[in-house]
Amino acid sequence: MIDSKMLRELVAFFVPGCLLLGLLILPGCNKKEVKKKEAKQEQAEAKLAPVKRPNLLKRKTSEVLDKQKAMAENPKLIEVENKITGKDPLTVSLEAYISASSRINVLNFQHQVDLMRAMNDNRPPTYKEIVELIKQTKMEFNALPDYQKFAYDEKEGKFLILEDPEEKKRIQGK
């Protein structure tokens, strides 16, 4: 049998050992609960977060609006030529890229329109012909800011950029 002295030694060894073991195990259990809470919180934030679009510098588009139809739907649209107007180095760099790439896209596509016009006895191509050309050649343009769109003026045979001033104020006012 176990005498009282042996029982005291056993308890003296067993109790601190259990406490030490508890201190080692309990923090690990708590981490699992914390990780579960963090995962749930991330999922909730992901549901609330807006869908992120690719960076403007990486986006491409093949969308070209019919100027007459777009102007009929929103008469406040204006024809623009992207220019550099930034005040700090980062904004100037971004605007320079957008300005240069949009200008190159407009000039390149305007050349295609001029070639089509020359082949059709100086008749500007129709909007449908332009859309078909874009589809056939799988042409993509560097994307513009969300308040600007590429457009084709069928009457003048001109490729241009339309801007919605109200949308620009709303986006830049954020």
What type of residue sits at position 172? Q
Tell me what pLDDT residue 72 has.
Answer: 93
Q: Are 69 and 152 in contact (CB under 8 A)?
A: no
User: DSSP letters along 108-169, please?
Assistant: HHHHHHHHHHHHTTTPPPPHHHHHHHHHHHT--EEPPPTTEEEEEETTTTEEEEEE-HHHHH
Tell me what pLDDT residue 26 has.
Answer: 57
Q: What is the pTM of this model?
A: 0.61
Tell me what pLDDT residue 171 has.
Answer: 84
Domain boundaries, the chain: 1-52, 60-172
Tell me what pLDDT residue 62 has.
Answer: 84
Q: Which tokens go with 64?
A: 């070209």
Would you give per-residue pLDDT tens digits along the chain (174 residues)?
Answer: 567 776 677 666 666 666 665 656 655 555 566 566 676 676 666 555 555 555 666 678 888 999 999 999 999 998 887 666 667 777 777 777 777 877 888 888 889 888 888 998 889 999 999 899 889 888 888 888 888 898 999 998 888 889 999 988 888 876
The three-state secondary structure class of 66 is strand
Q: Which tokens go with 4?
A: 């009282």
Tell me what pLDDT residue 68 has.
Answer: 92
In the chain, the N- to C-terminal Cα span, in Å, equals 81
Nearest to 131 by CA among 70, 61, 66: 66
**Roughly what angle, to the nearest 10 degrees, separates helices 89-119 and 127-137?**
110
* 123 Cβ neighbours under 8 A, 6+ residues apart: 117
Distance CA(115)–CA(152), nearest Å, equals 15
Q: Which residue has the tokens 């990780």?
A: 35
Tell me what pLDDT residue 151 has.
Answer: 92
